[in-house]
Amino acid sequence: MAAWVRLCVHQVLRSSTACLSRRHYSDSVWSLGRLNHVAIAVPNLGDAVRVYKDVFQAKVSEPQALPEHGVTVVFVELENAKLELLHPLGENSPIEGYLKKKPGGGMHHLCLEVDNITEAMKTLQEKKVKVLDPEPKIGAHGKQVVFLHPKDCGGVLVELEEA
């Protein structure tokens, strides 16, 4: 898993020769943390929950409506990270558009933790990585989050969450 995360981070900053870990970017005022979750857009939240709960016997949270993000989320607890099941909430849901393109659902984004989201945003903007919102929003865990454009991240929508 760690090699996969390193590859994703490398893709996020492929325009830069610097690595984001404290070990290689020691003068940074922020550092990259662990993989928090992988988000999966699902066309039927109840069916998806049953698979993870009844088939895989995973610990599954209650659904949480996030109207400001246009989604209902359920978290599946894993030993080393979480899966976030996303279902559209409201007419302007970005997940509704995703499911129109991929009716069966699929991986929507991955979320990486950072210890200082404001400084991370400054660095990413300096490195020409497009941050989709000018200011962080509050995410499902009650922490600040921002999303990075997939074209700058190897085709992957990346969410950063302040740890």
Least confidently predicted of 22-26, 70-74, 135-139? 22-26
Across residues 135-146, what is the average pLDDT? 95
| Confidence at 17, pLDDT banded by 50, 70, 90 | very low
Residue 27 has what pLDDT?
63
Query: What is the helix (H) or strand (E) element at residue 119, kind and residue range?
Result: helix 117-126
Q: Spelled out in words, what is the top-level CATH class assigned to the domain 2-12+27-162?
A: alpha beta
Question: Which pairing describes strands 158-162 and 106-114: parallel, antiparallel, or unpaired?
Answer: parallel
| Confidence at 90, pLDDT banded by 50, 70, 90 | confident
The contacts of residue 124 (CB under 8 Å, 6+ apart) are: 12, 13, 131, 148
Residues 28 and 132: their CA atoms lie apart, in Å, by: 22
Token pair listed for 115? 């210890």
Helix (H, G, I), strand (E, B) or coil at 58: coil
| Integer angstrom CA distances of residue 126 from 121, 123, 131 | 9, 5, 11
The contacts of residue 76 (CB under 8 Å, 6+ apart) are: 52, 56, 58, 59, 60, 61, 82, 83, 84, 85
106 Rama sector, left if φ>0, alpha if ψ -120 to 50, beta otherwise: left
C-beta separation of 95 from 41 below 8 A: yes
Residues 156 and 107: their CA atoms lie apart, in Å, by: 9
Domain ranges of the chain: 2-12+27-162
Token pair listed for 36? 């928090």
How does pLDDT run across 25-55, given as a tens digit for each residue? Answer: 446 789 999 999 999 999 999 999 999 999 9
